[in-house]
Amino acid sequence: METGQDRHNGEVPRLLEPSSEMPESAARAQRMMAALVRVDIARYLVAHPLSTIGDIVKGTGLGRAAVRAGLGAIDDIGFLVKDGEGELRGHHVRYSVDRRSLMTAFNELAVYTFG
Residue 96: C-alpha distances to residues 1, 2, 102 (Å): 46, 44, 11
Residue 17 inside a domain? The answer is no
**Which CATH number goes with the domain that contains 93?**
1.10.10.10
Residue 103 inside a domain? The answer is yes
Confidence of residue 5 (pLDDT cuts 50, 70, 90): very low
Q: What is the pTM of this model?
A: 0.75
Average pLDDT of the residues in 3-8: 44
Instruction: Using the predicted structure, report yes or no on whether residue 6 has a pLDDT greater than 60.
Output: no
Confidence of residue 27 (pLDDT cuts 50, 70, 90): confident
Residue 77 inside a domain? The answer is yes
Q: What is the pLDDT of residue 15?
A: 53
Instruction: Name the residue range of residue 48's domain.
Output: 24-114
> How many domains are contained in the chain?
1
Residue 34 inside a domain? The answer is yes
Q: pLDDT tens-digit profile of 64-101?
A: 999 999 999 999 999 999 987 655 555 689 999 999 99
